[in-house]
Amino acid sequence: MITATEASQKSEALCRLAPVIPVLVIDDVAHARPLAEALVAGGLPVLEVTLRTPVALEAITEMAEVEGGVVGAGTLLSPRDVEAAVQAGARFGVSPGATDAILDACEAHDLPLLPGAATSTEVMRLLERGYTVQKFFPAEANGGAKALKAIGAPLPQVRFCPTGGVSLANTPDYLGLSNTLCVGGSWVAPKEMMQSGDWEGITRLAKEAAGLPR
């Protein structure tokens, strides 16, 4: 059984592998392996597959076999999601918010979790439990980099991965903050590129994102 402290240590290690974690919505499982290969080739090894489509779990299983990649499950909403993600091969989890049920399930299944928080109170509650690495979501809707900087002033011991409205244009604002480890974004894997099989184009986007300073 993983502890909150251990989970945060593992989450921080993953967040430090690249400045951007791709947030992936996969509609066709045939896209999973070439997409993972393209992103890893571009320098983005940590991949979050959101559980928003019927093929998401199968996609995680496919992507977990790609050398150099670390695949996790996003949009974890229930203990059942956690169990299914672990069985599919997810090596970390991401949730839009954090409930005791989700936290308990992830800890029981040894799944490092990046739990979502949107307010100082939510951040403090997770910190009380031992989670020092959290997801700031939805980032832009909650005030963007200015809000995250403000939260960091009284809570400097917490580090974040902001997601939600994060783009290539505003990523530098987040990465410039002392309490930001990396960002999560979907722009590195546009739906139209996946549908057309433009894996080289996705690799180019990944290289651009991987080269962002932090």
Q: Which residues, in sequence order, are CB contacts of 10 under 8 Å at separation 6+?
A: 2, 92, 112
Active site residue 135: yes
Report helix, strand or coil for 170.
coil
Q: C-alpha dihedral over 107, 175, 167, 210, to 10 degrees?
A: -80
Give the rounded distance of the alpha carbon of 66 from its chain centre. Answer: 18
- 188 within 8 A of 20, measured Cβ to Cβ: yes
- 53 within 8 A of 74, measured Cβ to Cβ: no
Of 10, 37, 48, 62, the catalytic one is 48
Of 10, 37, 62, 135, the catalytic one is 135
Question: Tokens at residue 6, please?
Answer: 């251990």
What is the Cα Rg of the chain in Å? 16
Active site residue 62: no
What residues are annotated to the active site? 48, 135
